[in-house]
Chains A and B, each alone.
Chain A
Amino acid sequence: MNELLDLLTPYVTRLCAPIALQDGADAAQEALIAVFRGLRNVRDPQALYGWVRTTAVREAVRVARRAHPAVAAELEDLPAPGSLELAADIRDVLDRLTPEHRAILVLREIEGVDEKSAAELLSISTGTAKSRLSRAKNSFRKAWTS
């Protein structure tokens, strides 16, 4: 159990931190508790990381929404690319997104999950996932390179 905790903790924190931001440690803790409580139901060791990823992303979104229930700015409301406000860093851009938007960025950019799977995981349509991701990536890229 100690070894599994050592093995999974860096993976879970890497997924939870960009989604839950200031509540990243709470999210990672909750995600790991959910993972360890559900471990006995995992039959196929090869599916372990996929299941841990799903659990971690869902817990991170849940914790972030619970901690900050006010609706964050939608991507459409972000400052125009190139503005001083946007020329900050990744954290600043992530701060302006909803937990669900941060989750889709993490799934695609860090984890390389396809859009259909990401949409299923976040309980949204593939079309919504696609458009959100496209806008998120554009904003992100422009913010990062400006």
Chain B
Amino acid sequence: MTSDWPDVELDQVRRMRVLAASLPGVSYAEAHLDIPFDRVWAFIEDMETSMPALITDFRSFRIAERAPVGDAGEIRMKAKAVGLLGNRGAFDVILKPGWCLMQSRLVIGGMAASPEEGGTRFAGCGTLRLPGSRLLARAEGGRGAERIIAKLRTQLG
């Protein structure tokens, strides 16, 4: 009988809200984009292009390994980021339609998108995996995630 009971899907942006709410000191922002979901996500999926374009701290972002997981279009990747000062970071990336989660030893960042009437709802978040990240986030006031959205609008506008 339970298969007939009402059920609901949690879209990727809602999932990102849950994730962001559980990360200490997270910078989080979301917005409606007047751009179709497929176009937004095709840009994000091209991570070697999109990450340096959206995240000002990255000079480059290179995918070193790529492995599909399951049949839901999920890909697990290992990536090397090079920062503006030449600093390097190794990231584990989970990428699937509407969902991207990146973790290094020092940083967790995520992006999510879901189709919404007239375009796409897009969410971005990030935090440091260090003591004091709450203080930093308070000082920064979520502007990091807002900057990513602004840059995404510029790139796809």
Interface residues of A (CB under 8 A from B): 1-2, 5, 9, 13-14, 16-18, 21, 24-25, 28-29, 32-33, 36-37, 39, 89-91, 94, 106, 109-110, 144
| Measured CA separation A94–B1 after assembly (Å) | 14
Measured between beta carbons, the chain A residues less than 8 angstroms from B2 are 14, 109-110
Question: In the complex, are the beta carbons of A16 and B8 less than 8 A apart?
Answer: yes
Question: In the complex, are the beta carbons of B18 and A33 less than 8 A apart?
Answer: yes
Query: Which of B8, B14, B101 has a CB less than 8 Å from the CB of A17?
Result: B8
Measured between beta carbons, the chain B residues less than 8 angstroms from A106 are 5
From A28, A37, A109, residue with most partner B Cβ within 10 Å:
A28
30 A-B contact pairs sorted by A residue (CB < 8 Å): A1-B19, A2-B101, A5-B15, A5-B18, A5-B19, A9-B10, A13-B8, A14-B2, A14-B5, A14-B7, A18-B6, A24-B8, A25-B8, A25-B11, A25-B14, A28-B8, A32-B18, A33-B18, A33-B21, A33-B22, A36-B22, A37-B21, A37-B22, A90-B6, A91-B6, A106-B5, A109-B1, A109-B2, A110-B5, A144-B1
Chain B residue at minimum C-beta to C-beta distance from A14: B7
Let me know if B17 is at the binding interface, CB within 8 A: yes
Interface residues of B (CB under 8 A from A): 1-2, 4-11, 14-15, 17-19, 21-22, 94, 101
Question: In the complex, are the beta carbons of B94 and A2 less than 8 A apart?
Answer: yes
Chain A facing B: main interface SS: helix
Closest chain-A Cβ to B19's Cβ sits at a distance in Å of: 6
Closest chain-A Cβ to B21's Cβ sits at a distance in Å of: 4
| Measured CA separation A107–B11 after assembly (Å) | 25
Closest chain-A Cβ to B74's Cβ sits at a distance in Å of: 10
Question: In the complex, are the beta carbons of B7 and A29 less than 8 A apart?
Answer: no
Closest chain-B Cβ to A19's Cβ sits at a distance in Å of: 9
| Measured CA separation A2–B5 after assembly (Å) | 27
Measured between beta carbons, the chain B residues less than 8 angstroms from A18 are 5-6
Question: In the complex, are the beta carbons of B9 and A36 less than 8 A apart?
Answer: no
Measured between beta carbons, the chain A residues less than 8 angstroms from B6 are 17-18, 21, 24, 90-91, 94
Chain A residue at minimum C-beta to C-beta distance from B18: A32
Measured between beta carbons, the chain B residues less than 8 angstroms from A24 are 6-8
| Measured CA separation A76–B53 after assembly (Å) | 61
Closest chain-B Cβ to A65's Cβ sits at a distance in Å of: 17
Further pairs besides A25-B9, A39-B22, A106-B5: 10, Cβ < 8 Å: A5-B15, A5-B19, A13-B10, A14-B7, A25-B11, A28-B14, A33-B17, A33-B18, A91-B6, A109-B1
Query: Which of B4, B8, B11, B94 has a CB less than 8 Å from the CB of A90?
Result: B4
| Measured CA separation A36–B16 after assembly (Å) | 12
Closest chain-B Cβ to A45's Cβ sits at a distance in Å of: 18
Closest chain-A Cβ to B79's Cβ sits at a distance in Å of: 16
Closest chain-A Cβ to B9's Cβ sits at a distance in Å of: 7
Measured between beta carbons, the chain B residues less than 8 angstroms from A17 are 5-8
